[in-house]
Chain A
Amino acid sequence: MADRYVSDSQSAKAARRLKIFLALAALLAAVSLLSPLLVLHDPNQTSALLRQAAPSLEYPFGTDSLGRCVYSRVLAGAPTSIFSSLALVFVSFAVGSALGILCGYYGGVLDSLVMRGADVLLAFPQMVLAIAVTGILGGSLLNAMFALGLTGWTLYARLARSHTLALKNEPFVAACRLSGCSDLRLLTRHIFPNIAGPLLVNATTQIGTTMIGLAGLSFLGLGVTPPQAEWGSMISEARGALQLAPWAALAPSAAMIVTVMVFNELGDLARDWADRSGS
């Protein structure tokens, strides 16, 4: 009852915030797309003379222990970090939602198998399992994504399943079946659009977590292979020289923090907006 009395100014402010953060996220995505044009130097160009140089006009974030321009590497790492996270979240969302809807609607053996499988996977801490899997498969970006995705789909599957269970008993589902609607059409045209809201909000919130997960695996050397630029591996490489050349670690860390914060806040605002418009 109380949310009906949210004042107009409050919702206008919240809508403005949502738009601001959507714009920021779009800006980050644009910067990643355009990074080849924005770099000042070749990110992989090493230089023995300019090792661990302090930030200057020519090298805004300085250079790392191999003399590579940190600014250019941060920019080059952006698409890797951002787009691989987005891709992983998208695939987890698609696979998890599909499985969840099928489990919720049909129940039975499929439901038991999938949910028990999810329980088994979730019994392991996500990062530990990911480390074990990439350790076995070998370190590479794709393997790291696969390892994280192994547990990532379960969130969407459970959410989709519980929402589908609730929706299954609504009269409009019965009315659709009585109109001759096939199961496939019912699930895709009627059930999925009605549960997509909470699922999408979770997906937005998961982007930040996934980014940190990928960066963590790269930090441990289980993700991208050098010399590919990626923020996590950059932080790892620069760890040893933290006192001599702190900028080499600080710059990718700052980029990581800012990006994750933007996507987390976006997820929160999206959830608030969904709550408000749903009531």
Chain B
Amino acid sequence: MKTECLLDVRSACRRYKNRTRSVAALNDVSLTLERGEILGVVGRSGCGKSTLLRHIACLEKLTSGQIRLDGRDVTSARPADVCRRVQMIFQNAAASFDPRMTLRDSLLETFRLLGEGAVARERLGALLREVGLGEETVACYPHQVSGGQCQRAAIVRALAADPPLLLCDEITSALDVSSQAQIVRLIARLRRRRNCAVLFVSHDLALVACLCDRIVVMQDGRIAEEGTPRQIAQSPRAECTKKLLASVLTLDALERRNDKN
């Protein structure tokens, strides 16, 4: 018997209407995700990748199409209904916490909301150790800690519900390259230990190619191409994919420059 995959998006469409015209932010997007798989979603700014994540997290409603999560239809569910199945980490880590509360208070509140107030402190301690955050760091306010530390705190909050699916919305784009590397390695470790699936959205194809099992390339609300990192790198079909590949900044650029000269 074929078990249903963890996430199944079928022909998702989302149109935004303003006075003059309607814009299709998502246009017939379909993808699947198995348990424990890391799927990368890449594309230029405005291609709809963040919009797709928001709809999977039930923060917004699709105009048409279906989203099935863990065997259940969640197309018209509320975020509170799916909080134990899917969690999201945002690009701007500091803005994803209430600026008037310390990180610790925000995290403890998350546990309380999930109904685990009694064991909140122990669970928080265990999660902080898992991501490598110190107690003194979480005693600070979001604007007082670095982007990398804030992002780790956001990961702790997402893991509080122990969800089988993690949505990462450009979580490294606002970090410097060393913090980026640390966060990406952390995500890989978490996937190995917890077997959680990850939908990793980024505009950096090199980063996604390192981390992900499969890659989906989006453009203008549609899926332009999908495949493994090797397939995408060696035989890209779509124009936008080729452009993305050409923009990748790695040390090979040195050799390419010397070859040109």
Contact = CB atoms under 8 A, between A and B. Distances in A.
A182 B80 contact: yes
A175 B113 contact: no
B83 interface: yes
Interface in A146-190: 170-172, 174-182, 190
A269 B79 CA distance: 42
B83 A175 contact: no
Nearest to A177: B79
Interface residues on A, range: 10 to 19
Interface of A: 170-172, 174-182, 190, 193-194
Interface string B98-118: 111000000001100110000
29 contacts: A171-B90, A172-B95, A172-B98, A174-B54, A174-B88, A174-B90, A174-B96, A175-B88, A175-B90, A175-B97, A175-B157, A177-B79, A177-B80, A178-B59, A178-B79, A178-B83, A178-B87, A178-B88, A179-B83, A179-B114, A179-B157, A179-B160, A180-B113, A180-B114, A181-B80, A190-B98, A193-B100, A194-B99, A194-B100
Interface in B35-73: 54, 57, 59
A171 B79 contact: no
Contacts of A190: 98
Interface residues of B, number: 27
A190 B101 CA distance: 9
A174 B91 CA distance: 12
A108 to B, nearest CB: 14
Contacts of A174: 54, 57, 59, 79, 88, 90, 96
Interface of B: 54, 57, 59, 78-80, 83, 86-88, 90-92, 95-100, 109-110, 113-114, 154, 157, 160-161
Contacts of B157: 175, 179
A170 B113 contact: no
Which 10 pairs from chain A and chain B are nearest by CB?
A171-B96, A171-B90, A177-B79, A180-B80, A180-B83, A180-B113, A179-B110, A178-B79, A179-B113, A175-B96
A277 B138 CA distance: 22
